[in-house]
Structure 1
Amino acid sequence: MSHTRSPEEALLFKLLRTLFASPAPAEQAHASSAEDLKQRGNAHFNAGQLDAAAACYRQAIALDPQLAAAYNNLAAVLQQQGELEQARQHATQAIVLAPNLSQAHFKLGEITREQGDYAASVAHFRHCLALQADDEPSLLALAHSLCLLGAHDEAEALLHDALLRQPQALNLHYYLGNIYKERGAPQRALAEYAWCLEQAPDLWPAQMNSGLACWELGDLGSARTWLQQAAADPTRTEAQLALGELLLLQGELEAGFALLEQRFESQQPAYRYIRETLPRLGGVPLWQGEALAGRNLLLWAEQGLGDTLMMLRYLPELRRQGAGQLLVFCQPHVLRLIEASGLADAVCSLAGQARAFAGSAHHYALHCPLMSLPQRLGSSNANIPANPPLQLPANLLASWQQRLAHLAGHKVGLVWAGNPQLKKDALRSIPLAHFSALAEVPGLQLISLQKSEARAQIADSGLPLHDWMDDCADMLDTAALISQLDLVISVDTSVAHLAGLLGKPVWLLNRHESEWRWQLERQDSPWYPSMRIFRQHSVGDWHTTIKEVQEALLAPTR
């Protein structure tokens, strides 16, 4: 399990990497001792040669099993290679050998945070501060872990206390701004970023976060100005990505999708999957939009289920562009849906992907992640491809038709919650009890399309919901159920995409800040012609939005 490291922390982690970098490279002489091998490992590590560094550290440990620093440095290599449990074991061994080795406690703090063990992470960073009071990297790292643990008040107090002793500390002000932004206090965040930019006008992370804070306040003009400043240098990946999402939100798809290609360079955990996948493709080149001319193309899902469903429209377009065979690697939940619809020549589950890529990649001339298809094919609001024809098995359709045959009236599917693990899920999910107004609409049959633990709300909601989701193993089953409904009402989840793909009338309940694919203000969607968007008027106010849905259901034409 990995933690969510937002782009707001870019400055912090740059600082940490600088202050906790391995020692300067030793002379490249033949190693004759464990210390020499450790120094050679450091040289390889600093050069980005992780395998060679690991080999040196292991040799050093073999020569001197008591060399704590070699264990710690090997842990740093393993962390970068994604081997977090092994990294944790080696950093722990460094502390066993040298209980007050601050670097090892710091490394364990990073590793345990990345594993999602925030309590352990907090403990290790506290130990660092006990060994060296007011050490800024440890202080900032502790504040970060406290926030992830949900202890925002303590993190904020920690920084305020440090600022009393170091009132001019730029990084403390910057990170305090990040905490305010994360806590939903963008005005206070802007004040901290403004102070930072007075001291360091070219501090681009503060420019970027000023843009994000203005975005949260709804001042998109200022947000765009700040993000353009931050993204002026094309090497500032996180700023480029933030600007790209804002442009997409504003309907500038071509420019926005072009900037979204920077995710290949991003170190954000959200894009870690890309970094892990590319080496598994065995040297197959990335398709950049050149003529396909019958060449076989391997496509792979990189983000959520909704994103995968949204991108399926491009598969027929690839055929028209001259692609040979299409192989799609996707989430298990959409595999049967793609297979049944004949959209690809072969479909594989992402489960066991490393083996599947190794066995399949050499049959394909090119590869492309699904979310790059809009950029490769030059999508704009005016030319988004139509939804692909989805073919559902006749026996499955007949089964659901029979099951719902006894329901008289208008059959409406309902989804009220998304994935609780996503950072902004609380902004888009709605407690089921809020939908009580829908029960007042005569002739309505409410059918649950909800998965996850949010289904537990049905028992206490008092709503007369029919629930067959235990019988829906994947998106193919859910699609067959939706095909028998008159309407789907959904928060921003994959089911909204699925209903839109099927051409089913779908009413999306969109959070106040919106999300890039639903753009701004419009009540329709260029991605799904059958979609109608009901927007939240202010943060936290779903009552007004659901009242508008109720009124629309009561309208004679609905």
Structure 2
Amino acid sequence: MSSPDLARMRATVLYNAGIGLHGQGRLEDAATAFRDAVEADPAFAEAHFNLGNTLARCGRWDEAVAAYRAAAGLAPAAAEPSFALGVAYEQLGYARAASGRLAEATAAYRAALLFRPEASAAHFALGKALLEQGRPADAVVSFARAARLDPASADAFGGLGSALRRLERYADAVEACAVAIRLRPGGAVAHATLGDALQGVERMEEAVAAYRRAVALSPGFLQAYVQLGSALLALEPAEESLAVCRAAVMLDPAPAAPHNNVGNVLKALGRVEEAEQAFAAAVARAPQDPLVRLNHALALLTLARFEEGWEAYEARWQTGMVRPRGFTQPQWAGEPLEGRTILLHAEQGMGDTLHFVRYGPLVAARGGRVLLEVQKPLLRLMRGVPGIERVVAQGDPLPEFDLHAPLLGLPRAFATRLDSIPGDVPYLRADSAEAGAWRARLPADGLRVGLVWAGEARKGVPHANRIDRQRSLALAQLAPLAGIPGVRFVSLQKGAPAEQLRDPPAGLDVIDLMDGVGDFADTAALVANLDLVVGVDTSVIHLAGALAKPVWVLSRFDGCWRWLLGRDDSPWYPTMRLYRQDRPLDWTGAIARLATDLRAYATAHESAVP
């Protein structure tokens, strides 16, 4: 018998011994036997493969990778070694708290599928690796193939639901998760993913139920606690939400998310100082997380800790909520302009633009040419801002410029403090001819009071819609304003809420001329003829404040940061008066106080009229 034959025979004996030892659970001895087998016959692919299996059971993933790689190289047409290699690469990354081996795992799974394309488990594993690499669209393809090949695989449908949720295909994600739960009712992860998808389609009560089920199935499931706390807050039972969020912190105080959630709930309860501390704890645990830093910034700004707050507010550019413009020109930091041209540009809502365009004249005073880019409905109005040389609409070609500055970055550039807020008004003005045309359409007698009672819902943005539900009213809730002598109400409401004027509260007669309003220049001309504007926190109240018109704002309990704490006035708008909710979601007291003041205001106005 030749030496190669003897070596192969010896390797086979050692291999069989390894199989037996592995079956007895004697893993170290089995690994030794398999190592001796591959030393006797380095081309023995099965021995390399089973060595890998044994090392994997021992959690020695780096050694398992080497064994599987050898097996895959010796048997390139076999799917099993490549699949096992992919698993080992993934596990090696987890063991080292890194994701650097996912690309190699992906390649290994693809190699396995070349030779066994019908392997549902390999498609699922590939989808999982792709999802963890931030490639949800590719993951959807793999999970869907896994589900088609094995319609009884709860894992495949659960993975598909997760990937669809990442793509914000929430309705499809709900369907996939429902199948996963039907196949495996006890799958906590599938219930939690279903909750995420249900939040995306704003079915909040069902989302809460899904998270509750996930927590019940897996009491140590931290992310389910975190999401349950957020969903409860969206439904407004803040005290219960706080208890859940604090339970998550107790469960594991190391991650940032539970602390961030505690901060969100405390802020909703008006306990902003405590919220700031919770956000600070979250930032300490995840200093690179932009959403955590942004939440902390908003708490700091609410507390008028402007120096820290403006700096922290820069995190908004990394959250995805605000789109960076990608200009090659540098951002202005407040230095003298020395004749250079600067572009100021709107970055968020129209109310924010109306609020912060007040800095335009201050920028011009630094010695440069100032251009301004704004939302199209603001274009005509903004042409009258002092110091602005040219105004362009978003989406139109931009002129040449040397520097740029987002409008909400200007307070930071000017190092704005509470005592240095540029609060001089008016800084916007209506066109006198247009105002005269509107005057002819309004009643000449009585106290003319503009009304705006609702903001605008944003489809598919649950957080923004939660805030809109908190700030907006139904017209019927303003019934206490009906019947006040000498008051003539004028609608300033646009959008779907304006339909409520078809069925107003008894005695609340509202003049509606908004069909003639095409942009904010028109609104400004209308407002210029009013004696007072009353409304919830929308762009219209910013317009009224910028025009130096008396403006009374009904502010939700968890008010916008710019209204600060404990004040019924605003340093940003000297003509503003705030009526804050006494309790979350309860407008009764705020509206009653406003009605009392409006009655007195109307009486004083009547007495003052010659």
Could you say which TM-score interval applies, normalised by the shorter chain? Answer: 0.7 to 0.9
What's the offset of the Cα at 1:96? Answer: 8.8
What's the offset of the Cα at 1:383? Answer: 1.2
Instruction: Say which one has the larger Rg.
Output: 2
With over 3 angstroms needed to count, the CA separation of the structure-2 counterparts of 1:471 and 1:317, relative to structure 1, is same
Instruction: Please point out which of 490, 505, 510 is paired with 2:535.
Output: 490
Q: Report the Cα distance in structure 1 between the residues aligned to 2:117 and 2:130, rounded to whole angstroms.
A: 15
**Which residue of structure 2 aligns with residue 217 of structure 1?**
269
Residue 235 (structure 1) aligned with residue 235 (structure 2): no
Deviations 1:393-436 (CA, angstroms, capped at 9, x unpaired): 333122112222x4311111111111123321121112112222
Instruction: Please point out which of 381, 401, 425 is paired with 2:418.
Output: 381
Deviations 1:42-68 (CA, angstroms, capped at 9, x unpaired): 99xx789x9xxxxxx9xxx9xx99997
With over 3 angstroms needed to count, the CA separation of the structure-2 counterparts of 1:341 and 1:151, relative to structure 1, is closer
What's the offset of the Cα at 1:368? Answer: 2.1
With over 3 angstroms needed to count, the CA separation of the structure-2 counterparts of 1:216 and 1:345, relative to structure 1, is same
Q: Report the Cα distance in structure 2 between the residues aligned to 1:337 and 1:545, rounded to whole angstroms.
A: 32
Deviations 1:271-311 (CA, angstroms, capped at 9, x unpaired): 3442xx433x3x22233334333222222222111111001
**Which residue of structure 1 aligns with residue 467 of structure 2?**
424
Q: Report the Cα distance in structure 1 between the residues aligned to 2:244 and 2:360, rounded to whole angstroms.
A: 47
TM score, norm. by length of structure 2:
0.71
Query: Amino acid of the residue matched to residue 348 of structure 1?
Result: V
With over 3 angstroms needed to count, the CA separation of the structure-2 counterparts of 1:193 and 1:340, relative to structure 1, is closer
**Which residue of structure 2 aligns with residue 366 of structure 1?**
403
Q: Report the Cα distance in structure 2 between the residues aligned to 1:288 and 1:222, rounded to whole angstroms.
A: 32
User: Contact 2:369–2:389 (CA<8 Å) still a contact in 1?
Assistant: no
Residue 245 (structure 1) aligned with residue 288 (structure 2): no
Instruction: Please point out which of 245, 249, 252 is paired with 1:197.
Output: 249
Deviates more, 1:341-350 or 1:138-147: 341-350
With over 3 angstroms needed to count, the CA separation of the structure-2 counterparts of 1:485 and 1:125, relative to structure 1, is same
With over 3 angstroms needed to count, the CA separation of the structure-2 counterparts of 1:262 and 1:87, relative to structure 1, is same
Query: Amino acid of the residue matched to residue 257 of structure 1?
Result: W
With over 3 angstroms needed to count, the CA separation of the structure-2 counterparts of 1:71 and 1:296, relative to structure 1, is farther
Alignment of 1:352-363 (within 5 A): 353=395, 356=396, 360=398, 363=400
What's the offset of the Cα at 1:227? Answer: 2.0
**Which residue of structure 2 aligns with residue 3 of structure 1?**
none
Alignment of 1:49-128 (within 5 A): 94=145, 109=161, 113=165, 117-128=169-180
Q: Report the Cα distance in structure 1 between the residues aligned to 2:174 and 2:164, rounded to whole angstroms.
A: 9
- Structure 1 gaps, min length 5: 1-23, 51-56
User: Contact 1:510–1:533 (CA<8 Å) still a contact in 2?
Assistant: yes
Deviates more, 1:111-120 or 1:313-322: 111-120
Alignment of 1:288-367 (within 5 A): 288-328=333-373, 330-341=374-385, 344-350=388-394, 353=395, 356=396, 360=398, 363-367=400-404
Aligned residues: 505
Say which structure, 1 or 2, has more relative contact order (CA 8 Å, 6+ apart): 1
Deviations 1:240-287 (CA, angstroms, capped at 9, x unpaired): 211211121122223222211111222xxxx3442xx433x3x22233
Residue 454 (structure 1) aligned with residue 497 (structure 2): yes
With over 3 angstroms needed to count, the CA separation of the structure-2 counterparts of 1:495 and 1:250, relative to structure 1, is same
Q: Report the Cα distance in structure 1 between the residues aligned to 2:571 and 2:216, rounded to whole angstroms.
A: 52
With over 3 angstroms needed to count, the CA separation of the structure-2 counterparts of 1:417 and 1:130, relative to structure 1, is same
Q: Report the Cα distance in structure 2 between the residues aligned to 1:104 and 1:374, rounded to whole angstroms.
A: 50
User: Contact 2:426–2:548 (CA<8 Å) still a contact in 1?
Assistant: no
Deviations 1:54-109 (CA, angstroms, capped at 9, x unpaired): xxx9xxx9xx99997899699969987xxx9x879967975797575878756754
Instruction: Please point out which of 287, 308, 313 is paired with 1:260.
Output: 313
Query: Amino acid of the residue matched to residue 432 of structure 1?
Result: L
State the secondary structure of the residue aligned to 1:180.
Answer: helix
Residue 278 (structure 1) aligned with residue 330 (structure 2): no
**Which residue of structure 1 aligns with residue 516 of structure 2?**
471
Deviates more, 1:159-168 or 1:92-101: 92-101
With over 3 angstroms needed to count, the CA separation of the structure-2 counterparts of 1:89 and 1:189, relative to structure 1, is closer
Deviates more, 1:310-319 or 1:371-380: 371-380
**Which residue of structure 1 aligns with residue 477 of structure 2?**
434
Deviations 1:426-449 (CA, angstroms, capped at 9, x unpaired): 211121122223232111111000
Q: Report the Cα distance in structure 1 between the residues aligned to 2:255 and 2:342, rounded to whole angstroms.
A: 42
With over 3 angstroms needed to count, the CA separation of the structure-2 counterparts of 1:503 and 1:157, relative to structure 1, is closer
**Which residue of structure 1 aligns with residue 572 of structure 2?**
527
Q: Report the Cα distance in structure 1 between the residues aligned to 2:381 and 2:129, rounded to whole angstroms.
A: 44
Deviates more, 1:288-297 or 1:422-431: 288-297
State the secondary structure of the residue aligned to 2:515.
Answer: helix
Query: Amino acid of the residue matched to residue 186 of structure 1?
Result: A
Deviations 1:173-218 (CA, angstroms, capped at 9, x unpaired): 3333333333323333333333333342222211121222222233
User: Contact 2:359–2:410 (CA<8 Å) still a contact in 1?
Assistant: yes
**Which residue of structure 2 aligns with residue 392 of structure 1?**
430
Query: Amino acid of the residue matched to residue 325 of structure 2?
Result: L
Q: Report the Cα distance in structure 2 between the residues aligned to 1:300 and 1:176, rounded to whole angstroms.
A: 38
User: Contact 2:188–2:214 (CA<8 Å) still a contact in 1?
Assistant: no
With over 3 angstroms needed to count, the CA separation of the structure-2 counterparts of 1:539 and 1:413, relative to structure 1, is same
Query: Amino acid of the residue matched to residue 245 of structure 1?
Result: L
TM score, norm. by length of structure 1:
0.78
State the secondary structure of the residue aligned to 1:232.
Answer: helix
- Structure 2 gaps, min length 5: 1-64, 70-75, 91-98, 104-108, 459-464, 606-610
Q: Report the Cα distance in structure 1 between the residues aligned to 2:223 and 2:588, rounded to whole angstroms.
A: 41
User: Contact 2:491–2:510 (CA<8 Å) still a contact in 1?
Assistant: yes
The alignment yields a C-alpha RMSD, in angstroms, of 4.2
**Which residue of structure 2 aligns with residue 504 of structure 1?**
549
Percent identity, please: 31
User: Contact 2:341–2:401 (CA<8 Å) still a contact in 1?
Assistant: yes
Deviates more, 1:90-99 or 1:249-258: 90-99
Q: Report the Cα distance in structure 2 between the residues aligned to 1:468 and 1:379, rounded to whole angstroms.
A: 39
User: Contact 1:341–1:392 (CA<8 Å) still a contact in 2?
Assistant: no
